[in-house]
Structure 1
Amino acid sequence: MDLNAVRTFVVAVDAGQFQKAAADLSLTQQAVSKRVAALEAELGVRLFTRTARGAELTIDGQAFLPHARTLLRAAERAAASVRPGSRALRVDVVGRRVATGGLVRDFHRAYPDIELDVVTLFGGDRAIDAVESGTIDATFRAVLMPGRRLPDDIEAVPVLDEPLQLVTGPAHALAGEQSVTPAQLAGCRIWMPGNDPGTEWAAYYDELAAAFGFTVEATGPNFGVEALLDTIGGSSTLGTFLSERTPLVWPAGYDLRRIPMRDPTPVYPHSLLWRNDNSHPALATLRRYLISAYPGRPAAGVWTPEWAQPAGPAPPEAG
């Protein structure tokens, strides 16, 4: 159905005359008559009768009017849902309890008037495809994983280096250490059941393990963080990794140890990815906020895979 014709019909009803409707729509009276006639032909009924006082609705016109108004409201809502600035900024954070979820919460506290739609997509390939297709506005990911080249229309900028901690139960051989080096983990078993092959985090931890000689085990189903910590707390041989920024509460009886890692500190490198033609104003605000808060990666003292090194300085921000 031609929405311009429907809009002309509604304006003509409200105006009471085709002549006044033409003025309100900046059209000629002939154009208004043609639009209404085309709508009547499509519906197969007369919507108006002409009288000395102007145009009056027929019974069919009266029946159609509320539906015509609903159509126009629906069209406006549909346009608003994709109009930059009038819809929520849709951001993928991998997980709501991980550090990138915290970044988005900090951004929301700084800009409470910006509406956000926070989602969690599984895997970098799916997230990048969603950015490229416009399903989401931005994602936080570790780039570039081996064999993955960003599409030409996707940009990325580093926004967070997330230091890792070793987590053990009280009976583990390293439980009493104030800090550990990655080299001390040689021969250790690190249990991470969520390390699904093909994901960027699996690629990261596999390379970390190869660099320092420990084993990452991803056996068994992933029942979540609580089940993971339950197992780690009762084991003398298994450890796992968590971010120092990951907020967790566990029962006191677990007596888990979060041990900082030093010389070098493994950091998980998060970048913000977005499509370079995305004009949502809140996206530009998010980029400026994250770039200004990122201190930059030190030249020494941290470890990341070569494929995760920043390619260069952040792109200049307009405004």
Structure 2
Amino acid sequence: MDLDLDTVRTFVAAADAGQFQEAAAELAVTQQAVSKRIAALERNLGVRLFTRTARGAELTIDGQAFLPHARELLRVAERAVTSVRTGRRPLRVDVIASRGAATGLMRGFHRVYPDIELDVVMLFDIDTAVAAIRSGAIDASFRAVAMPGRPLPEDIESVRVLDEPLQLLTGPAHALAGARSVTVAQLAGHRIWMPGVVPGTEWAAYYDDLVAEFGLTIEATGPNFGSDALLDTVADTPALATFMGEQMRLVWPAGHGLRRIPLTDPTPVYPHSLLWHRDNPHPALATLRAHLAAAAAGLDAAGTWTPNWVTPR
């Protein structure tokens, strides 16, 4: 059985008004249209819903039984429409990982705009993120763009929002552990271990260029057991160090004695960009873009390095 929502809405309006004429005025249709809709609903249900009286129209016993269900049908329909209506659903943003700089940017946005509902998701690779933006599954994604030979589709917009300085992370027994800062040239010959660098990702393209530019050695061997296992290994292995972003939020046991050391001459910075579909009308997306633009500072600053394929500001 198919129930037409306009017909159900007409029934509820007539039940509330007690008169077809008043229901017609409320719905901005003719009284004849109301009568036809009610008659069609009665034929569909196989029962009489109203009894005509001198005072108007009164619900039959069947009409009284159907009324609460009719109201619920309309409520469900309204919730369904609201869930996808522009500006009424949460803004859905991909931040790649929970501890990275993009998550910090979104937390800052939420502090400034606590009334904007957010859904935060974590998608691994840029192809998945771009596909999700184009399908409407997400509204935006933080990425480093564009990788060599893989330009963004024409309907995807991007803007650089943060240049995040890299730091060297060492254990307490590493040869550079006591340094207040380290030049990139000083890292030549040292083993940098980054098991999370997966070929084909934008961060792999970034570190490939970093290695080629400065003659460094980055090892991505072994399974990636996550940041906690990485910290344990670096803390216990004097010959290993790793790179991480300045805004990466990590907590480690006091006994690890890990050091986060700034890199200089030049400072490699990881470029974070926001990606979105050019036809996305969600008003909160415009608010997010304006917020990030206002907060962006020091992009392409003197003394920093990024690969030449990175989208300029």
* TM-score with structure 1 setting the length: 0.92
Q: Matched residues, percent identical?
A: 71
The match for 1:165 is 167
Say whether 1:113 aligns with 2:115.
yes
1:97 to 95, 99, 111: 99
Q: Give the Cα separation in 1 of the matches to 2:291 and 2:183.
A: 33
Letter in 2 for 1:70: E
The match for 1:147 is 149
1:96-117 deviation per Cα after TM superposition (whole angstroms, max 9, x unaligned): 2211111111111122222222
The match for 1:38 is 40
* Cα offset, 1:22, TM superposition: 0.4
* Cα offset, 1:299, TM superposition: 5.3
1:72-100 deviation per Cα after TM superposition (whole angstroms, max 9, x unaligned): 11111111112222222111111222111
Q: Give the Cα separation in 2 of the matches to 1:58 and 1:193.
A: 72
The match for 2:88 is 86
Q: Give the Cα separation in 1 of the matches to 2:298 and 2:262.
A: 20
Across the two proteins, how many residue pairs are aligned to each other? Answer: 311
1:142-200 deviation per Cα after TM superposition (whole angstroms, max 9, x unaligned): 11012322222211110000100011112222222222222222233222222222221
The match for 2:248 is 246
CA contact (8 A) 2:184 2:266 kept: yes
Q: Give the Cα separation in 2 of the matches to 1:99 and 1:19.
A: 61
Q: Give the Cα separation in 1 of the matches to 2:38 and 2:221.
A: 68
Q: Give the Cα separation in 1 of the matches to 2:55 and 2:45.
A: 25
* Cα offset, 1:234, TM superposition: 0.6
Runs of at least 4 residues of structure 1 off by over 4 A? none
CA contact (8 A) 2:169 2:244 kept: yes
Letter in 2 for 1:251: P
* Cα offset, 1:290, TM superposition: 0.6
* TM-score with structure 2 setting the length: 0.94
Letter in 1 for 2:7: A
Q: Helix, strand or coil for the counterpart of 1:308?
A: coil
The match for 2:263 is 261
Q: Which moved more, 1:216-225 or 1:272-281?
A: 216-225
CA contact (8 A) 2:163 2:300 kept: no
Q: How does 1:1-319 map to 2 (within 5 A)?
A: 1-298=3-300, 300-310=302-312
The match for 1:316 is none
Q: Give the Cα separation in 1 of the matches to 2:149 and 2:58.
A: 68
Letter in 1 for 2:311: Q
> For structure 1, which runs of at least 5 residues remain unmatched after alignment?
313-319
Q: Helix, strand or coil for the counterpart of 2:161?
A: strand
> For structure 2, which runs of at least 5 residues remain unmatched after alignment?
none
